[in-house]
Amino acid sequence: MAVFTPVTNAELGDWLQDYDLGDVVEFRGIQSGIENSNFFLTTTHGEYVLTIFENLTAAQLPFYLDLMRHLASHRVPVPDPMPRRDGSLFGLLHGKPASIVTKLEGAPELRPAPAHCVEVGQMLARLHLAGRDFPRHQPNLRSLSWWQEKAPSIVEFLSREQRELFEAELAHQAAFFGSADYAALSEGPCHCDLFRDNVLFAHGREHARLGGFFDFYFAGVDKWLFDVAVTVNDWCIDLATGVLDPARVDALLRAYQTVRPFSPAEERHWNDMLRAGAMRFWVSRLHDFHRPREAQKLKAHDPGHFECILRERVKAVSVSSAQR
C-alpha cells in the first residue's frame, strides 16, 4: 500500500478551499509507489493526482514542481502542478507538503516493443532540450558523491566477488566523472528515473500513443547521456538477464538522436554511462535492502537485478576489447 498518510473527505474539502478546482466528484488512494502518499482526485474541473510527500521537505519541492510546470509549458507531456489561490504550487496537509497535478492519460507499458522505445526516445530528447532555459539548478542527488557516501555502509553485506565488482566500478566511475571528456558532456535537467512504470501509453485502435512521463521526484541536473543510459537500462533489456535487446536499443537511440544527436564524446563514453546508470541503481537498491528507513513500509527491490545489469555492461567492454 502506498497511502502512508490517510486523508478523509472532510480534510480534503477543507484543504481544497485554497484551490480553484471545483467540487470533488471522486477521491481514492493509489496502491502503488514507494516514496509518497498518492490519490486520484476527480473534480468538476478535471482529473488530478494529489501527492503528500513523505520524505521531501518544503524547501526541496520547488525544484521538482517548477521543473514540471516548465516542461508542461513547453508541451512536454508531464503532470502540470496546479497553483493555489496564492500562486504557490504546494501547501501543507497533515503537516506535510502536498501538491495537486494534472492526471496523464494511459497506463504503463511493461512489455515494450521497439515502437514504444521510439516514442520514449523522441520525447526524452524533447524534454532535455526544453529544460535548457529552466532557471533553477539542483544536481542529481543520487550521483557519484552519494554512491561514495553510502559505500561504507553497504560493502559489509557483500560477498568477496560482489565487493570486488562494487569497488572496481566505483573507482572506474570516479575516474570517468573526473575526466575532461565527462566535464564537456552536455547537461541539463534530467528525469533520472525514467523506468517503464514512470511512462504512460494510451492505447488507441491503431497503435499506442505516449501519454507522458511522470514521477519527477528524483530529477536533477545531470549529463543528458546519463538520463538516456538509465532509460535504456530499463526499457531495452531482457529483465531476466540484463542483456540489451539490440532492436529496442537501436529504436530508442535513433529516435532520440533525430531530435538531439550525440556528440563524439557521448558516442565514445556510451558504455561508461550505461555502467554509471547501472551502478546508481545497484547502490540505491543495496542501500534500501540492507539499510532500510525506519518507517519504510514496502519490500525493497532486489539489488541483484542491477548487479546483473552492471556485470553485463562490464562484460561488454571486455568482449569489445578482446575483439579489437
SS (H, E, C) 16-30: HHHCCCCCEEEEEEC
Taking the complete model, does pTM exceed 0.85, yes or no?
yes
Would residue 1 count as lying in a domain?
no
Out of 75, 102, 129, a domain closes at 102
From 102, 123, 155, the end of a domain falls on 102
Which pLDDT tens digits describe the chain residue by residue (324 residues)? 467 899 999 999 999 999 999 999 999 999 776 678 999 999 999 999 999 999 899 999 999 999 999 999 999 999 999 999 999 999 999 999 999 999 999 999 999 999 999 999 999 999 999 999 999 999 999 999 999 999 999 999 999 999 999 999 999 999 999 999 999 999 999 999 999 999 999 976 567 799 999 999 999 999 999 999 999 999 999 999 999 999 999 999 999 999 999 999 999 999 999 999 999 999 999 999 998 865 444 567 889 999 999 999 999 875 544 444
Count how many domains the chain has: 2
Local structure of 226: helix, strand or coil:
helix
- Tell me the residue range of the domain where 43 lies: 9-102
Phi, psi at residue 103, to the nearest 5°?
-90, 130
Residue 51, C-beta contacts closer than 8 angstroms, at least 6 positions apart: 36, 37, 38, 39, 98, 99, 100, 101
- Structural contact between residues 68 and 102, judged by C-beta atoms closer than 8 angstroms: no
Pairing of strands 96-102, 91-93: antiparallel
Smallest Cα–Cα separation from 148: which of 127, 165, 181, 173?
173
> 165 and 56 share a domain?
no
